Amino acid sequence: MQTNFLLSDIQLTGLEIAPSQVKGAIRIVPLLKHNVRYDLRLKSQQYEEPLAIVSLSGKLLDPGLKYFSYIPQGLVMSWSDDGSPLASSGTQLGSGNGKKMFGGLLRVIPRMSKKIEHNQLRFLPLHLAMEGFLAMFFGGPEIAWSDYSRRARSQGLNPRCEYSYGGRSIIGLENALRVFEIHQQQVGVMIFVAEELASVFVVPTPEDYRALHSTLLQDFYGELIYQYAYVYQTTYPMNVTVDDDQINNLKDLRREIELVRNSWADFQGFMANSLLERPVISKKVYQAGSFTLQRFLTDIDSDQVNHIGEAIVRDTGELEYLKTYRLSALQTKRVHLLSKLAQYNWNLDDTAQGLNISRNELIYRFKKTGFDYLLTEQASRINLIEQRQFDEAKKL
C-alpha cells in the first residue's frame, strides 16, 4: 500500500462538477461525490477570540517564530486505521485549545497542526497554507553577501506579512451561500467572483460539508477577489440549451440533459484551469494513517494566476480535503523573485543575469515588491536614468 502521497497536480478525480448557481457576481459550482467513504471526517473547532498567535515551535512561551492573524476556527480531522466508518461529529463549538491572553482578546495556539487525541489532528485551515507561503525562502541569504543589510543577514525576511479580506467582506458571498441549494451528495464548491476562481473547498463527506458550509465566510480571500466583487454586479451570460429536434421521448430528453450537464462540467472545469491539473509543489505536514495532510503552491509562474492551498490525500491518490487561496499579482511577483534569488544563492549579479535583466532592474524589482529593506543603502541605489528608461519600456 502506498503512503505519503504528495500531489503533483490538482485533479477532481471522483468528484462530479454540477451546474453552477449564480447570484450577482458570485458563481458557486457544487462538487458532488457518489462513492463516499466515512473513514475520514472533519469538524470545526470554533475560537471565541478575534486574534491568535501560533507558536510554530509548539511551545507557547517560546520566543522563536510566531504566526499572527485572525484565526476564527481550527479543523479537527478524525480517521480510522482499518477503513471502518466514523460517526458524524458535526460542528463543535467551544474554547478549542491553546491559551487565552489579554482578557480573552488573544489566543496563543501551539503549532499549525497538532495531534490532540488518538487518530485526531487539529490544524488551522488556510493558515496552514499561508504560513508555508510566508516561510518560503524565509531565511534569506545564507552567504553574507555585502549587498544585504545586517538585518537581512541576521533575520532573513522576518517579519513577512500579507493582507487578505474575510469572506463577509466579499460583496454577495454571504447571501449566495445562504440561499443557494446544497445537493444531497455535495462535498465541496468552486467559488468564482466575476468569473475569476476565488477558492475551491472539498471535504470527505456530504455531512461534513453541510456542517462546514457556513465556514466559507470565515475564510480569507485575496485583494483582487474583493475588488471584483465590489466592481462587478453580474457574471458573464452562459446559456446552454437542449436541442428540441433531437427529442422524441423521455429517453432522448434524459440523454440531452446529460449532454448539457457534461458540457457545463467541462466548461466550469476549464474556468478553473489556473488550478486544476496544474503542476504544484507539495510538502507533507502530517501522515495520518493512509491519509497525507499537505500544503502546496502552484508552479511559480509570474505570467499566470497562482494558488496556494492545503489538501488531504488518500494513499490511492483520492482527494479528500482541499482548500485554496488565489495569490495576487504582487504576491506572485514576490515569490517568483524570492525563488530566483534562492536559485542563484542570493547573489544579485548572478540572479540578474539568470533573469536576463540588469542589476539596476533587479534592484528596482526589490523596491516594487517591498523587499528593498533587505539591501544596504549603497546596494539599493539605482541609476535614475536607467530607471526612467525601464519605466518607459514597461509602458510600451
Higher local confidence (pLDDT), 50 or 369: 369
At residue 96, the pLDDT reads: 44
Q: How many residues does the chain have?
A: 396
Residue 276 and residue 11 in contact, taking contact as beta carbons nearer than 8 Å:
yes
pLDDT of 350 > 70? The answer is yes
pLDDT of 279 > 80? The answer is yes
- Residue 73 in grid coordinates: 476556527
Rounded to whole angstroms, the Cα distance separating 42 from 208 reads: 6
At residue 60, the pLDDT reads: 63
pLDDT band at 93 (very low <50, low <70, confident <90, very high): very low
Helix (H, G, I), strand (E, B), or coil: what is residue 283? Answer: strand
Q: What mean pLDDT do residues 10-22 have? A: 88
pLDDT of 353 > 80? The answer is yes
Q: What mean pLDDT do residues 259-286 have? A: 76
Q: What mean pLDDT do residues 78-95 have? A: 72
In percent, the amount of the chain with pLDDT more than 70 equals 82
At residue 210, the pLDDT reads: 96
pLDDT of 192 > 50? The answer is yes
At residue 378, the pLDDT reads: 83
At residue 144, the pLDDT reads: 82
Q: Where does residue 194 fall: left (phi above 0), alpha (psi -120 to 50 degrees), or beta otherwise?
A: left
At residue 391, the pLDDT reads: 63
Partners of 314 in beta bridges:
291
- Give me the chain's average pLDDT, please: 84
Partners of 200 in beta bridges:
190
At residue 202, the pLDDT reads: 97
Q: What mean pLDDT do residues 349-361 have? A: 92
| Most confident of the ranges 90-99, 281-290, 362-371 | 281-290
Model pLDDT for residues 234-258, shown as the tens digit of each residue: 775 555 555 666 677 777 667 656 6
Higher local confidence (pLDDT), 19 or 6: 6
- Residue 153 in grid coordinates: 543577514
- Residue 369 in grid coordinates: 515588491
pLDDT band at 39 (very low <50, low <70, confident <90, very high): very high
At residue 167, the pLDDT reads: 95
Closest CA to 319 of 203, 149, 223, 148: 203
Q: 380, exposed or middle or buried, with CB in 10 Å at 0-12, 13-18, 19+?
A: middle
